[in-house]
C-alpha cells in the first residue's frame, strides 16, 4: 500500500517535472521568437522569416547552435561558483511554475503558502546571478552582479507589499483561493495602484528594459553573464524568459483573475493573460531607454516602497472598516 503510493508520487513528480521542463523550454523558444518578431515590427523590420513558418524555428536553430558551442571557463574563475550559477538561476523557475493554477482542476501543487513560495524562489535566482558575477572574475560581471543584487532587494519589497494587499482582500496566500476569490471581478479593479506597482516591480525583477541594468550591454558588455558561452549562456537566457512567464503568471493570478473569463476555457484565458502581459513587457523594452542605476534605486526606495506601503495600509484600513 505504502510502496504503491510512494511509487505513484515519484511517477507523478517525474511526469510533472518533465511537463514543466518541456513547457519552460517551449515557452522560452516561443518568447524569443515573439520578442524578435515584435521588436522587428516596432522597428519597421520583418524579423526572422527564413527558418520554418514565419521564422518560428529560428530560435530552435539558435538553440541547437548554442548546444554545439564550446563551453569556455575563464582561467581565473572561481570554478564551483561559475559552474553552479546557471543551475541556481534556473532551478527556482521550475519550482515557481509548478505553483500556479492554470485552470480550475489544473495545477501541479496547491500549497496554502503558494504566494510566499513564489517570491522565495524568485529570490534564490538572484543568488545565482551574484554567483555568476562573482565567479566569473570579471569586473564588468561583478558590477552587473552588484547591480542585480541591489536592484533585487529594492524591487522585491514593493513587489511583495503589493502582493500582500491582494492577500488581505482574498484572505489567503493560497494561489487557487486567490483566483477563486476573483470569480466575479478581478482584483485589478480594487487594487489599481498595487497592480501598477507590481507591474513596474516585475519588469525590474526580471532585469528587463528599462530596468535591464545588471546586463546593460552598452555599459557592462553583458553584465553578469559576460563570461558565459554556449549552453551555459543559453540557460541564463532560458531563466530570463521563464522568469518573465512567472512574474506574468503571478500578475495574472493576483490581479487579472487567473483562469476566469467568459466563453473560452480557463487555461486559454490564463495563457492569453500571461502572454498579453509578456507582450506588454516586450513593448516596454523596445520603447524606453534605460534608467541610470541611482535613478532606479531612488525610484524604488523613495517612490515605490512608500506608495506600496501606503497602498497596503489603505487596503487594511478600508477592509477593517467596511468588511464585516
Residues that bind other proteins (CB under 8 A): 39, 42-45, 139-140, 143, 146, 209-210, 212-213, 216-221, 286-295
Q: Closest distance between other proteins and the C-beta of residue 233, in Å? A: 16
Beta bridge partners of 106: 103
Burial of 252: CB neighbours in 10 Å, binned 0-12, 13-18, 19+: buried
Written as nine digits, the cell of 229 is 558561452
Nearer to other proteins, 51 or 221 (CB): 221
Q: How many residues does the chain have?
A: 324
Nearer to other proteins, 209 or 249 (CB): 209
Q: Which residues contact 178 (CB under 8 A, 6 or more apart)?
A: 115, 166, 167, 170, 172, 253, 254, 258
- How many other β-carbons are positioned within 10 Å of the β-carbon of residue 298? 13
Residue 101 to residues 11, 50, 110, 277, Cα–Cα distance (Å):
21, 37, 8, 17
Q: Closest distance between other proteins and the C-beta of residue 217, in Å? A: 5
As a whole number of angstroms, the distance between CA 268 and CA 203 comes to 24
Nearer to other proteins, 69 or 139 (CB): 139
Q: Closest distance between other proteins and the C-beta of residue 44, in Å? A: 6
Nearer to other proteins, 135 or 144 (CB): 144
As a whole number of angstroms, the distance between CA 255 and CA 247 comes to 12
Q: Closest distance between other proteins and the C-beta of residue 140, in Å? A: 8
Burial of 1: CB neighbours in 10 Å, binned 0-12, 13-18, 19+: exposed
Nearer to other proteins, 183 or 287 (CB): 287
Nearer to other proteins, 10 or 288 (CB): 288
Radius of gyration of the chain (CA): 20
Q: Closest distance between other proteins and the C-beta of residue 66, in Å? A: 20
Q: Closest distance between other proteins and the C-beta of residue 211, in Å? A: 10
Q: Closest distance between other proteins and the C-beta of residue 289, in Å? A: 4
CB-CB contact of 101 with 176 (8 Å): yes
Nearer to other proteins, 205 or 215 (CB): 215
CB-CB contact of 112 with 173 (8 Å): yes
Amino acid at each position: 500500500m505504502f510502496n504503491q503510493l510512494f511509487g505513484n508520487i515519484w511517477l507523478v513528480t517525474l511526469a510533472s517535472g518533465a511537463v514543466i521542463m518541456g513547457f519552460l523550454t517551449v515557452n522560452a523558444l516561443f518568447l524569443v521568437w515573439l520578442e524578435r518578431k515584435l521588436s522587428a515590427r516596432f522597428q519597421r523590420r520583418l524579423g526572422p522569416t527564413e527558418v520554418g513558418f514565419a521564422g518560428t524555428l529560428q530560435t530552435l536553430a539558435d538553440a541547437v547552435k548554442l548546444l554545439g558551442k564550446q563551453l569556455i571557463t575563464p582561467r581565473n574563475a572561481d570554478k564551483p561558483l561559475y559552474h553552479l550559477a546557471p543551475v541556481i538561476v534556473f532551478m527556482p523557475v521550475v519550482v515557481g511554475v509548478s505553483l500556479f493554477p492554470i485552470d480550475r482542476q489544473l495545477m501541479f501543487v496547491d500549497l496554502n503558502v503558494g504566494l510566499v513560495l513564489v517570491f522565495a524562489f524568485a529570490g534564490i535566482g538572484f543568488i545565482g546571478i551574484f554567483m555568476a558575477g562573482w565567479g566569473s572574475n570579471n569586473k564588468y560581471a561583478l558590477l552587473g552582479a552588484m547591480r542585480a543584487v541591489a536592484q533585487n532587494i529594492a524591487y522585491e519589497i514593493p513587489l511583495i507589499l503589493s502582493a500582500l494587499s491582494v492577500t488581505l482582500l482574498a484572505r489567503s496566500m493560497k494561489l487557487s483561493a486567490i483566483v477563486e476569490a476573483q470569480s466575479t471581478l478581478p482584483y485589478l479593479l480594487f487594487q489599481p495602484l498595487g497592480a501598477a506597482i507590481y507591474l513596474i516591480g516585475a519588469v525590474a525583477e526580471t532585469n528587463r528594459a528599462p530596468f535591464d541594468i545588471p546586463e546593460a550591454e552598452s555599459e557592462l558588455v553583458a553584465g553578469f553573464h559576460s563570461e558565459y558561452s554556449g549552453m551555459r549562456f543559453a540557460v541564463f537566457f532560458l531563466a530570463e524568459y521563464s522568469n518573465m512567464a512567472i512574474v506574468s503568471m503571478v500578475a495574472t493570478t493576483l490581479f487579472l483573475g487567473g483562469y476566469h473569463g467568459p466563453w473560452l476555457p480557463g487555461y486559454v484565458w490564463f495563457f492569453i493573460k500571461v502572454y498579453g502581459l509578456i507582450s506588454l513587457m516586450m513593448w516596454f523594452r523596445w520603447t524606453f531607454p534605460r534608467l541610470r542605476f541611482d535613478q532606479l534605486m531612488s525610484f524604488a526606495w523613495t517612490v515605490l516602497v512608500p506608495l506600496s506601503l501606503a497602498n497596503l495600509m489603505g487596503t487594511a484600513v478600508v477592509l477593517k472598516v467596511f468588511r464585516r
